[in-house]
Chains A and B, each alone.
Chain A
Amino acid sequence: DVKVTQSSRYLVKRTGEKVFLECVQDMDHENMFWYRQDPGLGLRLIYFSYDVKMKEKGDIPEGYSVSREKKERFSLILESASTNQTSMYLCASSLWGSTSSYEQYFGPGTRLTVT
Chain B
Amino acid sequence: GAGVSQSPSNKVTEKGKDVELRCDPISGHTALYWYRQSLGQGLEFLIYFQGNSAPDKSGLPSDRFSAERTGGSVSTLTIQRTQQEDSAVYLCASSSFRDTQYFGPGTRLTVL
Question: Does B bind A?
Answer: no
